Structure 1
Amino acid sequence: MVCGRSSIFKGVQAVRSTFSLSVGALLLSASPVLAQAGPATPAQQDENSQTVADSKGKWITLGTRGGPVTSPTRSQPANLLVFNGKKYLVDVGDGASGQSGKAGVQTAALDGIFISHLHFDHTAGLAGILGLRFQTNAPKTFTIYGPPGTQEMVDGLLASMTPGATANYGVPGAPVQDHRTGIEVVEFRDGAKTNVNGMNVSVRSNSHYSFVPGSDLEKRFQSLSFRFDLPGRSIVYTGDTGPSSAVEELARDADLLVAEMMDVPLIVATVRRNNPRMPEQAAKGMEAHLTKHHLLPKDVGQLAARAGVKAVIVTHFAGAETDTPDYFEYLRTIADHYDGPVIIANDMDVF
């Protein structure tokens, strides 16, 4: 297999020994489990229609930026899962509709959305998806799967669409269309299992939220990780999480682990630099929160090793970018704990 990027590794002992090698020296063949097809394009979508229908499925990283800060090179968190002709968004950050279009999938062709948690960097694109589907007369039922609170969020978004939907295209005498028609919500809690069009979906609550046990907020909200068991492969999506035994259990022996990862020291240093008057206590509190609620490189490696997954994709990435020493250090740190293939994904990568 021809590999498209230098961050794909097999035989990670080479990475442990040095991370300052040239890009060419780091280009090693990847496991068949982690087959990177390169950026998706509409032309490729047409040419590879049979591949799209493959029961093994494709995972496309539409948006790989970690956190709510925008980036000139990475879009907000969103993914596209394609199998047996079905197309699902997994998280729907701002710009998800445009990124899906780049992958050759229009909003009207989507079959549903899975949402991991209700932070706005993971949900801001939902209003666009719902509105564009209405404007293009999407014909089929559209189901949004998510954590507790998803119904309330969708109801609010649909209410916000009422003026635009009522005016519609501004044609006198046009039949009235209800923009709520066909929109369904299924809320999941920890331990839920269901089958969606031949795909077994399992859900665990992770450690991205740490509300006081028994509190109202703890009862109302959960942050979820998903496992998608397709006929040909198993894919686990961590969503946003800190270290979590529940996620390790969910990911046991999965073919592909799609894990978030953040360079917390770098983020804290950047925030301090941009806010020199930030109180020390506030900075330390932010660092503690990020460390507990997100995965560091060592956490990704330990999670992958303990779960026994076959390959890892890093997304929801906030850190030093490609071909810097820190970037290779992330991979080396993961490799200290996990000896399988790893890649830090870019927007529009196909796996």
Structure 2
Amino acid sequence: MKRFLLSLLAVVALVACAAFFFRTPLSLMLAKKAAAERLAYDAMNELPDGLHVGLCGAGSPFPDDKRSGPCTLVVAGKRLFIIDTGSGSARNIGKMGFQHGRIEAIFLTHFHSDHIDGMGELMLQRWGTAANTSPVPVYGPQGVDMVVNGFMQAYRQDSQYRVAHHGEAAVPSSGFGGKPMPFTPGADGRVVVLKDGGLEITAFTVDHGPAHPAVGYRFAYKGRSLVISGDTKKSAAVQREAAGVDVLVHEALSTPMVGILKDGAVKAGRMNLAKIFDDILNYHASPEEAAETARDAKVGYLLLNHIVPPLPLPGMEKAFLGKAPEIYNGPIRVGIDGDFLSLPAGSTEIKVGRRF
């Protein structure tokens, strides 16, 4: 036995030495295989027909290792849509296994910087990775043209460099950037912005003043439905649109936790930050208020996003929720980047998972 163990140790040591000395060619060989598989992979091909919603950004303007800037991904059948384009959107969409070139349209809820600051990168990836010949439609309330055209101007020289370097076949100049698609909700505060192929997308006004206009979105496809609240205080409009939906994706801010930040800012003598921490309380909904909306609308699942403030320590998610689980007795989750829910057509099932 002793001789056997010594021989085994010698073999292990030999293998370890070989792996060390040949690590460069081995890593390149693995990278070659992984590159081919990764570039060919498309998560859309493995999803069943139905509605699917994922968090490509569950956070806010606060730096958060688990939550990038606001971004929600929706798949209806084989159609890919993005709602808001916070920082990290493009990278997280790729990490989730979706191909940027397949993005059919972008929808903006409002024009706060954290909801749009990743748009330039996302438009670039959508154009350059698939040789798209037309710009991506960007839907939003009045003012969306100023936002899209501003990014187009900022990226204009970059696009010219790329066309000159790679050529029209690889990066058609006609596909650069985005095309603003402004809309105005009607007297009832809502407007259908896209309806075809069994899919209906409705925008509705929410209250995020003084950020105005601000909207949420309702997606309906083959008997499944979901609502994305956008940034808003507790809203009767969200409850109306969310009535009976399978999933409500609702923003949430913890008043007690933001209060801790305010107190810290006061003690540090940073009074401008203390003022900001105090101000943000009046145009966001708390987890408990989101739970009240989910309960009263009788939704099937409550997924919280736009999480404020960050939750870096174990146990903080329970504190963040407060009394929300006592208010809404359905499933509730404090979202993080990569969360993914599937709503197969022809069923009432809600499959909960993660894409990374």
Q: TM-score range by the shorter chain?
A: 0.7 to 0.9
Q: How does 1:221-240 map to 2 (within 5 A)?
A: 221-240=212-231
Matched, 1:110 2:103: yes
Q: CA deviation at 1:153?
A: 0.8
1:33 alignment partner in structure 2: none
1:186 aligns with 2:173: no
- Residue aligning to 2:282: 292
Q: Give a deviation string over 1:144-185, Cα, whole Å, max 9, x none.
A: 111211111111111112211222254499799545668422
Query: Match of 1:257, SS?
Result: strand
Partner of 1:31: none
Q: Which residue of 1 aligns with 2:318?
A: 328
Pick aligned residue for 1:63 from 39, 51, 57: 57
> Matched residues in 2 for 1:245 and 1:100: separation?
31
Q: Secondary structure at the match of 2:67?
A: coil
Q: Which has the larger radius of gyration?
A: 2
Shift of 1:143: 1.2
CA gap 1:83/1:282 in 2 versus in 1, 3 angstroms? closer
Amino acid at match of 1:327: E
Paired position in structure 1 for 2:21: none
1:132 Cα deviation from its structure 2 partner: 2.6
RMSD between aligned alpha carbons?
Answer: 2.9
Give runs of aligned pairs for residues 247-258 of structure 1, distance below 5 A.
Answer: 247-258=238-249
1:246 pairs with one of 237, 245, 260: 237
**Are the structure 2 counterparts of residues 161 and 327 from structure 1 closer, same or farther at C-alpha, using a change threshold of 3 Å?**
closer
Give the structure 1 partner of residue 154 of structure 2.
160
Match of 2:33 in 1: none
**How many Å separate the matches in 2 of 1:173 and 1:48?**
29
Consecutive unaligned residues of structure 2, counting only runs of 5 or more, are 1-36, 342-356
Moved over 6 A (4+): 172-176
Instruction: Compare 75-84 and 135-144 and name the one that shifted more.
Output: 135-144
Q: Kindly tell me: are residues 183 and 321 of structure 1, through their superposed partners in 2, closer, same or farther at Cα, counting changes over 3 Å?
A: closer
Q: 1:305 corresponds to which letter in structure 2?
A: R
Cα distance, 1:133 vs. partner?
3.1
| Secondary structure of 1:104's aligned partner | coil
* 1:1-39: CA deviation from partner (whole Å, max 9, x where unpaired): xxxxxxxxxxxxxxxxxxxxxxxxxxxxxxxxxxxxxxx
SS across alignment from 1:92:
coil
Question: What residue number does 2:303 align with?
Answer: 313
- 1:55/1:230 contact within 8 Å kept: no
Q: Which has the higher contact order (CA 8 A, sep 6+)?
A: 1
CA distance in 2, matches of 1:49, 1:240: 28
The reply on whether 1:263 has 2:250 as its aligned counterpart is no
- Deviation of 1:196 (Å): 4.1
For 1:107 and 1:208, how far apart are their aligned partners in 2? 30
Partner of 2:8: none
Q: Name 2:26's counterpart in structure 1.
A: none
TM-score (norm 2): 0.74
The residue aligned with 2:204 is 204
Q: For 1:174 and 1:309, locate their aligned partners in 2 and report how far apart those are by CA, in whole Å.
A: 48
1:130 CA drift (Å): 1.7
Name the CA distance, whole Å, in 2 between partners of 1:342 and 1:293: 22
Distance 1:101 1:76, change over 3 A: same
Match of 2:112 in 1: 119
Work out whether 1:277 is the aligned partner of 2:269: yes
In the superposition, the TM-score normalised over structure 1's length comes to 0.75
Which structure carries more strand by proportion?
2
**1:135–1:291 distance in 2 versus 1, CA, 3 Å:** same
* Structure with greater helix percent: 2
**Map of 1:24 onto structure 2:** none
| C-alpha distance in 2 between matches for 1:172 and 1:56 | 38
Query: What CA deviation, in whole Å up to 9, does each residue of 1:180-237 have, x standing for no partner?
Result: 66842222333111334432112211111247xxxxxxxxx41111111111311000
Q: 1:49 to 1:178 in 2, by over 3 A?
A: closer
